[in-house]
């Protein structure tokens, strides 16, 4: 088994250029031929570049395990096509450090590319409970998502020195508010549409829109949709090798989505990130506004404010 999250940290830092980390990853996996590969979703996205490598570094993987977050459908499909294992499975878990894994879903290379990537799967039977609570008194649905809450014996007992913060997230009966919004259809699976703080009323699911853009614009390596000061959706994009964005492909994809501002292109290392390389969306929106880029768009990589990215303090 290879823990990809640890391997990613060794080779994909902002000071290492893409060809070097790609070769290091390829050589490592070609030598180890892992059968089980666990990583954060963003690490899997970085390793899409290995899917077509003639050395076959992913050819022996029978289980890809994505921790705590859903994977974009494009990434799952590309990695599954890279393995020679006929029954290879991509497993994704939805949860938080505060409650552990709560929902699980698995799929194979036969999953349709058009299948809803926002479906996280089903709660662990006998271990976790999941409910969706209305935000406005109306039943939660795809058009009116509610708060996702989890009940689990694995829930933390407090935040050290932050009891008020902890109490604000625990509700009667031991339900823990995840900070996400979504809904559960009649089949009982959990659909995650957005983080509560990222919700853009009237736009729909920004995560679903990002799934569509990844699927239709081949060169995208990152796309994050954040609101500007007027509430307009602003897509921030990164491309392979920082190439100019394919504007024709972008226009085709944007035509099937709600109205957005023109895309703003940044380099990956300049995006504010968490320890698991997830994009800090609120900070990104603030940086765009501070740099005067919110809603303006750019056909080339635009310079972010100084001090951003992984190396900033």
Extents of the domains making up the chain: 2-87, 123-196, 206-290
Q: Which of 255, 261, 254 has its CA nearest to residue 298? A: 261
Cα radius of gyration (the chain): 20
Q: Which fold has domain 123-196?
A: Luciferase; domain 3 (2.30.38)
The residues that bridge with 182 in the sheet, in sequence order, are 146, 192
CA 225/CA 228 separation, integer angstroms? 10
pLDDT-based confidence at 6, cuts 50/70/90? very low
CB 18 within 8 A of CB 241: yes
Question: How many C-beta neighbours within 10 Å does residue 141 have?
Answer: 14
- What pLDDT score was predicted for residue 89? 95
pLDDT-based confidence at 148, cuts 50/70/90? very high
* Token couple for 117: 């990537």
- Distance set, CA 64 to CA 44, 141, 177 (Å): 9, 30, 28
- What pLDDT score was predicted for residue 18? 46
- What pLDDT score was predicted for residue 225? 94
- Distance set, CA 6 to CA 10, 115, 174 (Å): 7, 30, 33
* Residue 311 clears pLDDT 70, i.e. is over it: no
Per-residue pLDDT, averaged over 174-202, amounts to 91
Q: What is the pTM of this model?
A: 0.83
CB 34 within 8 A of CB 74: no
Burial of 188 from C-beta contacts in 10 A (0-12 / 13-18 / 19+): exposed
* Residue 238 clears pLDDT 80, i.e. is over it: yes
Comparing 292 with 142, the larger pLDDT belongs to: 142
* Residue 236 clears pLDDT 80, i.e. is over it: yes
- What pLDDT score was predicted for residue 2? 60
Per-residue pLDDT, averaged over 83-97, amounts to 93
Comparing 213 with 291, the larger pLDDT belongs to: 213
Length of the chain: 313
Percentage of the residues of the chain whose pLDDT score is greater than 90:
59
Per-residue pLDDT, averaged over 17-31, amounts to 76
- What pLDDT score was predicted for residue 313? 28
Comparing 309 with 59, the larger pLDDT belongs to: 59
* Residue 293 clears pLDDT 80, i.e. is over it: no
Strand bridging mode 170-171 / 233-239 = unpaired
Q: Which CATH class is domain 206-290?
A: alpha beta
Per-residue pLDDT, averaged over 183-188, amounts to 93
CB 133 within 8 A of CB 146: yes
Comparing 290 with 183, the larger pLDDT belongs to: 183
- What pLDDT score was predicted for residue 304? 57
Per-residue pLDDT, averaged over 88-105, amounts to 92
Q: Do domains 123-196 and 206-290 have the same CATH topology?
A: no
Domain 2-87 sits in CATH at 3.40.50
Per-residue pLDDT, averaged over 119-140, amounts to 93
Per-residue pLDDT, averaged over 123-145, amounts to 93
């Amino acid at each position: 088994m290879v823990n990809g999250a640890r391997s990613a940290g060794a080779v994909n830092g902002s000071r290492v250029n893409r060809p070097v980390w790609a070769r290091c990853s390829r050589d490592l996996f070609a030598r180890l031929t892992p059968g089980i590969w666990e990583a954060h979703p963003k690490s899997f996205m970085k390793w899409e570049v290995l899917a077509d490598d003639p050395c076959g570094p992913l050819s022996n993987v029978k289980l890809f395990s994505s921790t705590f977050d859903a994977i974009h459908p494009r990434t799952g499909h590309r990695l599954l096509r890279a393995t020679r294992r006929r029954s290879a499975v991509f497993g994704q878990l939805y949860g938080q450090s505060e409650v552990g894994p709560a929902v699980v879903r698995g799929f194979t290379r036969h999953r349709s590319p058009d299948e809803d990537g926002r479906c996280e799967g089903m709660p662990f039977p006998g271990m976790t409970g999941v409910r969706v609570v209305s935000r406005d008194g109306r039943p939660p649905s795809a058009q009116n998502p509610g708060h996702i809450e989890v009940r689990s014996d694995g829930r933390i007992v407090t935040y050290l020195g932050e009891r008020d913060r902890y109490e604000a997230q625990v509700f009667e009966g031991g339900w823990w508010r995840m900070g996400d919004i979504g809904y559960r259809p009649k089949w009982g699976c959990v659909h995650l549409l957005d983080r509560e703080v990222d919700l853009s009323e009237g736009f729909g699911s920004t995560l679903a829109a990002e799934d569509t853009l990844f699927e239709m614009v081949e060169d995208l390596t990152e796309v994050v949709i954040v609101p500007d000061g007027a509430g307009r959706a602003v897509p921030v994009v990164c491309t392979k090798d920082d190439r100019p964005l394919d504007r024709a492909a972008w226009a085709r994809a944007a035509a099937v989505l709600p109205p957005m501002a023109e895309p703003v292109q940044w380099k990956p290392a300049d995006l504010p990130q968490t320890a698991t390389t997830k994009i800090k969306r609120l900070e990104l929106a603030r940086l765009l506004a501070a740099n005067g880029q919110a809603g303006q768009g750019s056909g080339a990589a635009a310079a972010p404010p100084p001090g951003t990215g992984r190396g900033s303090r």
